[in-house]
Chains A and B, each alone.
Chain A
Amino acid sequence: MRHIISILIENEAGALSRVAGLFSARGYNIESLTVAPTEDPSLSRMTLVTRGNDDIIEQITKQLNKLIDVVKLIDLVETPHVERELMLVKIKTTQETREEIKRTTDIFRGNIIDVTAHSYVVEMTGPSDKLDAFVSAIAADNIIEVVRSGTTGISRGEKGLHL
């Protein structure tokens, strides 16, 4: 099953490599990983998407918790949550395809943020499967480049992951 592990970690040099190293050393898979400092600059928030059965996920969360730099973590999948991913797609355009691509972008609530004679850059956020759907709605030949941030997420309701 897919899990979204959200981690509050000391914003120290090397903290990211401890997490990445743990995954490679123990053979766990990382589907995506996002990191940035939080409102408290001494802390970073990391969101990690991984897959595995319950036993593996249990070991993953225990091993992550064991890292000295990790302050707290939750598996978002275990609680009501929202998840979002940011995607930028550069699409080849021609006189004939421009309208169609714009319409599709609108349907997916994306924005065109760069336009040249022969291309668009579409910005889109949403759950990962929506972004997948958009990419498959565009003819593969027309896609120049896809950049995705990886999933990030937050729990619903007033409770939060903080100190």
Chain B
Amino acid sequence: MELSGGQIVVQCLKDEGVEFLFGYPGGAVLHLYDALFHQEDVKHILVRHEQAAVHSADAYARATGKPGVVLVTSGPGATNAVTGIATAYMDSIPMVIISGQVSTPVIGSDAFQEVDMIGITRPCVKHNFLVKNVADLAETLKKAFHIATTGRPGPVVVDIPKDITDPKIKIPYKYPKKITMRSYNPAVKGHTGQIKKAVELLLSAQRPIIYAGGGVILGDGNKELIKLAQTLGYPITLTLMGLGAYPATDKQFVGMLGMHGTYEANMAMHESDVIIAIGARFDDRVTGRLTEFCPYAKIIHIDIDPASIAKTVKVDIPIVGEVKSVLKDMLELIKDSEIKTNPKALAAWWKQIAQWRDVQCLEYDRNSGLIKPQYVIEQLYQVTKGDAIVTSDVGQHQMFAAQYYPFDKPRRWINSGGLGTMGFGLPAAIGVKLAYPELDVACVTGEASIQMCIQELSTALQYKTPVKIINLNNRYMGMVRQWQEFSYESRYSHSYMDTIPDFVKLAEAYGHVGIRIDKPEEVRSALEQAFALKDRTVFLDIITDRTENVYPMIEAGKAHHEMKLRVALGTSTDRELA
């Protein structure tokens, strides 16, 4: 089969089994777009901004486990994609981003719409390629998919100059079935000796805790994680990125840890004597002040990326390998081990944890007469029977969603954790809905975040992706306002917008349903109505208590046992903002 470069790209995507290509055309990719015309296998989703193309594809990847694929033009198309690429990079999401480039003879001449995409994206990709010869195209794309989806996943950029896709130059096409690279061989199995040591330490623990993260979801190791936790009977906490890797409604789950984690999770971390970290990277939002991090604990750390181990926190037993494989090996060893867990110590530990739970750190004022954001999320959970895929933007609403929507399954909670990219939520919801048309998809957002990719309402109409937008409208950049309240004596410097659009009219202008809710008693019925409108995108603009804060909170420079809790119930509602 003789194909042009443009046709080769499309054929490679077909051979990779790519369902959706999120993109936006322009001069440098016109040959490619021509090759996309008159074919149905790869469905092109035309976004309204390249950043959204990347977020949609990224969320598709998070929800399905398959790589997300993007096509953008050179210059401004490429730079618009960069925020999305960095977002995927920070959360280790498998993606292939194809960017157009000016023709090879003019590269470096400041040609029209030329940017050094390879240079710009180098620090925020797992790898990138500039294709300089059409004969290398198929193999390069194969490598890109291979690198993106194996080891620690991540985005890979393939920059393709226009002349490489020239329809006049045709060459024989063959897509490599497999690829081996001498410089890239990620570990799979963990070191047997290390695993053995880890199991011994784990079984002899008195106050153990399992701390698992996004790596469990990325590596599809949730079944093994559940097995491990339930075999041992140990408490388990999850990072923001790990939510859903272990059922949140199970009694062994003590909640999320870290800056806005639960009292019980953070206290249990602080007091523990053995921690097993599984696919989690000791992020600064999780550890708090490093010098006081888990002072009594010996730490086991399982991660596929050696560079994640001992980066910020020293560990006692490092294990480099895939979660799934390492946990399987551990479970085998535990089964045959002569050492058994210590039921007496464990009972005392659970008793201590029960006392921490009694603090009820997530309780909030239910009688304020105002719509509490927490209440909205609780109702969302009930209306969707806990079975929706929830995407979010960045801010207080994101934390409320994480705290008050217990996720029992992996790949149901889709958010930007590492980069914290406002604007992620809506395009993410669209990407997810394309992957799972039959599931309820909710985008929990704030009135500031939603405006960063609001134009995607138009994409949602074109591709009939009926997502439900839950706008927790507190008329503030709430998360910023909260920090200003705590750390800047309530000087609310530019964390407020005087002109917030009429979201109902906006939604209607884009061809969707808009509903504004400002009474607590309307919340439930509005949510029911929204989800009953199966084939419509619904924008719920919910006017929430503008003074609400996210608790607990470990403020900057504080340790796990120094959480700020909601002072006294009821005090937050009547208070005037200074």
> For residues 306 through 346 of chain B, which have their beta carbon under 8 Å from a beta carbon of chain A?
306-307, 310-311
Across the interface, do B122 and A65 meet the contact criterion of CB distance under 8 Å?
A: no
Q: Which residue of B lies closest to A8 (CB)?
A: B183
Q: Which residue of A lies closest to B185 (CB)?
A: A71
Across the interface, do B130 and A13 meet the contact criterion of CB distance under 8 Å?
A: yes
Per-residue interface assignment for chain A, residues 16 to 37, with 1 indicating a CB less than 8 Å from any chain B CB and 0 otherwise:
0110010001000000000000
Q: How far is the CA of A10 from the CA of B127 in the complex (A)?
A: 13
Q: Which residue of A lies closest to B182 (CB)?
A: A71
Q: Which residue of B lies closest to A72 (CB)?
A: B183
> For residues 281 through 312 of chain B, which have their beta carbon under 8 Å from a beta carbon of chain A?
305-307, 310-311
Say yes or no: is A117 at the interface (Cβ < 8 Å to chain B). no
Across the interface, do B118 and A62 meet the contact criterion of CB distance under 8 Å?
A: no
Q: Which residue of A lies closest to B181 (CB)?
A: A68
Q: How many A residues touch the partner, as a band?
A: 20 to 34
Q: How far is the CA of A65 from the CA of B309 in the complex (A)?
A: 14
Across the interface, do B184 and A63 meet the contact criterion of CB distance under 8 Å?
A: no
How many residues of B are counted as interface, with CB atoms below 8 angstroms from the partner's CB atoms?
A: 17
Question: B182: which A residues are within 8 A, CB to CB?
Answer: 71, 163
Across the interface, do B130 and A70 meet the contact criterion of CB distance under 8 Å?
A: no
Q: A68-B126, A68-B127, A68-B183 are in contact. Are A17 and B119 (CB under 8 A)?
A: yes
Across the interface, do B183 and A71 meet the contact criterion of CB distance under 8 Å?
A: yes
Smallest Cβ distance from A19 to chain B, in angstroms?
A: 11
Q: Which residue of B lies closest to A10 (CB)?
A: B183
Question: B96: which A residues are within 8 A, CB to CB?
Answer: none
What secondary structure prevails in chain B residues at the interface with A? mixed
Q: A68-B184, A163-B182 are in contact. Are A62 and B122 (CB under 8 A)?
A: no
Say yes or no: is B147 at the interface (Cβ < 8 Å to chain A). yes
Choose among B118, B307, B310 the residue that contacts A63 (Cβ–Cβ < 8 A). B307
> For residues 52 through 103 of chain A, which have their beta carbon under 8 Å from a beta carbon of chain B?
55, 58-59, 62-63, 65-66, 68-71
Q: Which residue of B lies closest to A25 (CB)?
A: B123
Q: How far is the CA of A26 from the CA of B307 in the complex (A)?
A: 13
Smallest Cβ distance from B161 to chain A, in angstroms?
A: 13
Q: How far is the CA of A106 from the CA of B277 in the complex (A)?
A: 61
Q: A68-B147, A71-B182 are in contact. Are A18 and B307 (CB under 8 A)?
A: no
Across the interface, do A21 and B122 meet the contact criterion of CB distance under 8 Å?
A: yes
Q: How far is the CA of A59 from the CA of B312 in the complex (A)?
A: 10
Q: How far is the CA of A17 from the CA of B181 in the complex (A)?
A: 20
Across the interface, do A17 and B311 meet the contact criterion of CB distance under 8 Å?
A: no
Q: How far is the CA of A69 from the CA of B306 in the complex (A)?
A: 17
Smallest Cβ distance from A154 to chain B, in angstroms?
A: 21
Q: Which residue of A lies closest to B126 (CB)?
A: A68
Question: B119: which A residues are within 8 A, CB to CB?
Answer: 17
Say yes or no: is A157 at the interface (Cβ < 8 Å to chain B). no
- CB<8 Å pairs between A and B, sample of 23: A10-B183, A13-B130, A14-B118, A14-B122, A14-B130, A18-B122, A21-B122, A21-B123, A55-B310, A59-B311, A62-B306, A63-B307, A65-B306, A65-B307, A66-B305, A66-B306, A66-B307, A68-B127, A68-B184, A69-B183, A71-B182, A71-B183, A163-B182
